[in-house]
A and B are shown apart, each in its own frame.
Chain A
Amino acid sequence: MDQRQAQVDIDRLSDRDKRDLQQSINNEMQKAKIQESVHELTDICWTKCVTGAISSSGLDRKEEPCVRNCVERFLDANEAVLKHLSVMRGQGGV
């Protein structure tokens, strides 16, 4: 029902509208990918940084910088992995 409605609507769109729509959807997909990464990072860094009992509704003085460092170092580690992989590939692999 909703599907059919959408189909009819798409047929009525001009080429320019279709291009605009494609662009907006690409933006939305990129946003979704970033949000996906944020979920994953929050998962990892929560486990690393929020180690005590839950006592306050915000991050405390230790947790806040820990979470920020956690994000940065995780991404550093990710880059290091990619870098080393490309070195290994240059050496003819393993």
Chain B
Amino acid sequence: MDSLNPSLSASDPKAALMKQVQQEAAINNARQLISKMNSHCFEKCIPTPGSSLSSREEKCFTTCMEKYMAAWNTVSRQYIGRIQKTAGGGAGSGGDMGEFGI
């Protein structure tokens, strides 16, 4: 990818700036997902915290994380579909909100 080109910033400051903005947005998005996922899955998987994380709890956590991402993607699709309907259909490049997954 062109991000590996060290001279990019010098030769194309516009692209470099945009890349930085996009990276920060992506980090922010991921951070928010992680925070919500952590609290919801903690609620679900660790009702009574013991002295260490059991293997069952850990298994529950990974399953829960995948499920939360599936929920996020479903909500994203539904929400964007709704926005596009309200906007009168032809608006923008919808669905390009990114998907979470493994």
Task: Classify chain A's interface size.
Answer: 35 or more
Q: Which residues of B contact A25 (CB under 8 A)?
A: 18, 21
Q: What is the interface of chain B, defined by CB distance below 8 A to chain A?
A: 9, 13-14, 16-18, 20-22, 25, 28-29, 32-33, 36, 40-41, 44-45, 60, 63-64, 66-68, 70-72, 74-76, 78-80, 82-83, 96-98
Measured between beta carbons, the chain A residues less than 8 angstroms from B18 are 21, 24-25, 28
Query: In the bound complex, do residue B80 and residue A34 qualify as a contact, i.e. CB atoms below 8 Å apart?
Result: yes
Q: Which residues of A contact B64 (CB under 8 A)?
A: 54
- Can you report 20 A-B residue pairs in the complex whose CB atoms are below 8 A from each other? A6-B20, A9-B17, A17-B13, A21-B17, A28-B21, A31-B97, A32-B25, A34-B97, A35-B98, A36-B32, A39-B32, A39-B36, A46-B68, A49-B71, A50-B67, A54-B63, A54-B67, A67-B75, A71-B78, A72-B82
List the B side residues contacting A91 at CB < 8 Å.
none
For the complex, what is the distance from the CA of A43 to the CA of B71, rounded to whole Å?
9
Contact between A13 and B78, CB atoms less than 8 A apart: no
